[in-house]
Structure 1
C-alpha cells in the first residue's frame, strides 16, 4: 500500500493518491477507501490490470493537519476485510477498535 501527495499552490488542497498493491489486496474484487474527510463513506478504488487498486482524493489543508483512513477489501464471496495502510505515516487508535492509518496534509 502506498500514499502519494501533491500539494496544490493555487488552493488549500492536497491531492492524495491511495494505492493498494496486488499483494495487499489479498485477492479482493473491490477495494474501498474509508476516510474521515468524507464522514467515513466508502470511496471505490479503481481496479487496474496489474491487480492493484488506486484512487485520488482532494484533502483540504486549511481544515486540519491530518486525516485518518482505512481500506475495506471485498472478497469474491462478498465478505469484507478492513485493513490499514502497511506504510502509513502513523496510526491512531480507532473508537471501533484497532488502529486507523493517518495521512498528514501539513506542509
Structure 2
C-alpha cells in the first residue's frame, strides 16, 4: 500500500502511523518526491487498518482519501 500526500502539506517530517506498525512514529516516514509530494509504501496483508499521519511538532491529521474517517482516524480496507 502506498500512502501519499500532495506537495506542501505540511512542512517538516511526516510519518504514517497505525495499527499495522504499533502506532510507532518514525517507522514509516514519508519521502519527498521530485514533484514535492511525499509517499511511503507499506506491505500489508488483506484486512482493515486504522491509521493517521503525524507531522513535525506533534501535529496529527487524517487522510481524506481513506475508505472511512471517524474520531479514531482513517480506516483502510486492503
Post-superposition, which runs of at least 4 consecutive aligned residues in structure 1 deviate over 3 A?
none
Higher normalized strand content (fraction of residues): 1
Is the CA contact (8 Å cut-off) linking 1:30 and 1:47 kept in structure 2?
Answer: no
Q: Which residue of 2 aligns with 1:66?
A: 48
TM-score, length basis structure 2: 0.85
Q: Which runs of 5+ in 2 are unaligned?
A: none
**8, 13, 16: which is aligned to 1:33?**
16
Q: Which residue of 1 aligns with 2:65?
A: 87
Q: Which residue of 2 aligns with 1:6?
A: none
Number of residue equivalences: 76
Q: Which residue of 2 aligns with 1:9?
A: none
Q: If you compute each CA radius of gyration, which structure gives the higher value, 1 or 2?
A: 1
**19, 31, 34: which is aligned to 1:46?**
31
Once the two structures are superposed, what CA deviation does each residue of 1:21-61 show, in whole Å capped at 9, x if it has no partner?
Answer: 114x13x1211000101111121011113221100001112
Larger relative contact order, structure 1 or 2 (CA cutoff 8 Å, min sep 6): 2
TM-score, length basis structure 1: 0.64
